[in-house]
Amino acid sequence: MTLHPADFLVILLYGVITLAIGLRFAKRNRTTEHYFLGARNFPGWAIGLSLIGSTISSITFIAYPADSFKTAWLRILPPLAFPVVVLVACYAFIPFFRRGGIHSAYHYLGRRFGPSVSLYAATIYLGMQITRAATITYLLAVLLSSMMELPVPVCIALSAGTTAIYTIKGGFEAVVWTDVIQTIVLLAGAVACVLFIVTALPGGMGQVFSEALAAGKLSLRDLNSTTGMLEPPATGFSLSEKTSLMLVLVGVANYLTGQLDQDSVQRWRSAKSDRDARKAMLLLGFGAVPIWVGFMFLGTCLWVYYQHHPTDVSSAVLLGTRKAEDILPHFIVTVLPHGLAGLVISAALAAAMASLSSCINASSMVWVHDVYRAHFARGRTDAHYLKSGKLASCTLALLMGVGAWWFYLASSTTILDFILVVTALLGGGVTGAFIFGMFTRLGDARAVLCGIAATLLFSGYASLVAMGVWPRVINGYYTSILSNLIMFSTCCIAAVFLPRQTGSLASLTVWDRASEIELPRA
């Protein structure tokens, strides 16, 4: 089914506003400093909304409702760990990364352990960002394909290309200020969907809760693919099956990784003060969880709605013959009234574009500063690096489109379930290296290279298990936890036999920064 002209008008208006905001900053980007960090005077509320926008991607907008529609609320457990991780970031990570001459997360690893460790971490980050951006692009393309009756590959090209235009031209300032607008739009779209369903049901909100509770749809259960029944997970410690405790620990590991990558460090450094950076993180930490809960609840509302108004698509999703991610696009284009459907689609576009623009800009910064300039082209002019950054952004946009096409050809239970496992496999133990470097005075590059070797061996084993080559002993969800534990413990053990060689640790650990001053703003 195609959209009504009123919906296209709403979407067009949103697109014009977004492009106008993005392109407005194009003429300011005359240096790499401005292109990648803006003027470094962003207020905390703007950075906070930008962080929410980049975090609440189409993975949230489409995959969370899809997961709770088909299963229940089990995968809300990892996000519940997020506020704790945010508090750690506020009072341990932000002061650390805003001081000294650190221009990126991986520049720090280079100063602490040398260029080889920095290159490894930067490469892992780029791989994870391309994977995440490809997932987001694919989910957005599914929605566009449903509403425009165009092939998914064509919609992949449209979604990746549109975001690339204003991100490449406008730089980091465009990313932040479009994120602010997009966050407001995506929240409005989600609220509109829930309100429409509640008013369409005779019993309103009470009916949603009563029917969902009776069916176990609001419980922390998972779908047994064999029996088709919702079953409670185990509660204790286990490395072979999903348990509630382990999913919370997965959240801690994954969100710690998120706070120690370039997306977060870039925004912390762009805030006008330490206080504004902390405000931004607190807004993110205590704003994101209710939003994640809200999107899971949207999936539950959809399930109740389609119990009374079933369609071939809703039945096929529940039977497993169609992907769960089809349910929200189907609801938007077949149920929502004209105009409101355009708003909700604009919200989905906003969710995707906010995350994609952040992925593109932050990844190009890592490529330029931590890979290209550090290892391939030292001593060039700033104009050369600026041009290289824009070229890298174009290349990254192309790669995320290719990855989205691969997701389209692949099959999985739900994308949310799949991306949790893939993220774990690609983690590479980098968080363990950061923790080792920041919170101990032990070791040097030799110790961390031992940790990298051990982590790569484990990741290779986990990949073979995921492909079915070796029997499964450890659930793929927990690879990120074990990777970081292996990295940290191996580094500590290696440091005993390979003591740190002489050299100052000033500004390089949390214990050795008493004489530092905050970076001046540009």
Strand spans (E) along 140-269: 222-223, 230-231
**Higher pLDDT among residues 316 and 235, named by residue:** 316
Over 80: is that where the pLDDT of 174 sits?
yes
- What integer pLDDT is reported at residue 300 of this predicted model? 95
Model pLDDT for residues 482-497, shown as the tens digit of each residue: 888 999 999 999 999 9
Distance CA 225, CA 181 (A): 40
Model pLDDT for residues 15-37, shown as the tens digit of each residue: 888 888 877 887 778 888 888 88
Distance CA 140, CA 353 (A): 9
- What integer pLDDT is reported at residue 415 of this predicted model? 54
**Do the Cβ atoms of 352 and 61 come closer than 8 Å?**
yes
**Higher pLDDT among residues 226 and 274, named by residue:** 274
pLDDT-based confidence at 179, cuts 50/70/90?
confident
Distance CA 411, CA 8 (A): 31
The structural domains of the chain, ordered by start, are 43-497 (1.20.1730.10)
**Which residues partner with 222 through β-bridges?**
231
**Higher pLDDT among residues 470 and 455, named by residue:** 455
In the predicted model, what is the mean pLDDT of residues 321-333? 85
277 three-state secondary structure:
helix
Of residues 116, 93, 130, the one with CA closest to residue 405: 130
The model's pTM: 0.81
Of residues 290, 266, 273, the one with CA closest to residue 44: 273
Of residues 82, 362, 16, 492, the one with CA closest to residue 250: 82
Alpha carbon 276 to chain centroid, angstroms? 22
Distance CA 384, CA 376 (A): 13
Task: Indicate left, alpha or beta for 62 from its phi (over 0: left) and psi (-120 to 50: alpha).
Answer: alpha
In the predicted model, what is the mean pLDDT of residues 249-265? 83
Of residues 346, 314, 243, 246, the one with CA closest to residue 66: 314
427 three-state secondary structure:
coil
**Which residues partner with 231 through β-bridges?**
222
Of residues 317, 96, 300, 322, the one with CA closest to residue 216: 300
**Do the Cβ atoms of 336 and 3 come closer than 8 Å?**
no
pLDDT-based confidence at 513, cuts 50/70/90?
low
Q: What is the mean pLDDT of the chain?
A: 84
- What integer pLDDT is reported at residue 315 of this predicted model? 92
pLDDT-based confidence at 245, cuts 50/70/90?
confident
